[in-house]
A = this chain, B = another copy of it.
Amino acid sequence: MATVKLLADTELSAEARAVFDDIRAVRGTEYVNNFWRALAHDPALLRATWERLKVVMAPGALDPLVKEMVYLAVSVANGCEYCIHSHTAAARAKGMTEAQHGELLAVIGMASTTNAHVSALGVPVDAAFEADTPSAER
């Protein structure tokens, strides 16, 4: 039930093919998942998405597993079924244990409840939580 046909390797444009080659090289696997096969209809969007993803998900100040769990949390909040499946799989591949998965779900659930309570109550932001007053210029 996609809105575009998922492209097989033989259906790729040269530009899309080059991105697929890089995905395979970076991930060390021949498998390219459906998301990229759908995006491949627009090689420019495919490339921009993949290039940005490599930068954002690379190890840095946060470790890759933490990044995957944050990615998953956003996907759950947005109700994106595909994303939830792919990033749960990715988090497991990066070492997420069942205990960590359970705690992650508990935190996401807790945040969802208190987000709703806060909205319903219209709670004003405490002055203590605000960053410094904006500077005068602007």
**Cross-chain contact A84 with B2 (CB below 8 angstroms):** no
A74 within 8 A of B: yes
Q: How far is the CA of A38 from the CA of B81 in the complex (A)?
A: 15
Which interface class (under 10, 10 to 19, 20 to 34, 35 or more) fits A? 35 or more
**Cross-chain contact B105 with A120 (CB below 8 angstroms):** yes
A53 within 8 A of B: yes
Closest approach, in angstroms, between the C-beta of A37 and any C-beta of chain B?
6
Contact of A108 among B44, B84, B116 (CB under 8 A): B116
A66 within 8 A of B: yes
Q: How far is the CA of A134 from the CA of B135 in the complex (A)?
A: 26
**Cross-chain contact B99 with A61 (CB below 8 angstroms):** yes
**Cross-chain contact A118 with B80 (CB below 8 angstroms):** yes
**Cross-chain contact A129 with B89 (CB below 8 angstroms):** yes
Task: Show the binding face of A for B, using Cβ within 8 Å.
Answer: 1-11, 31, 33-35, 37-39, 41-42, 44-45, 48-49, 52-53, 55-57, 60-62, 66-67, 69-89, 97-126, 128-138
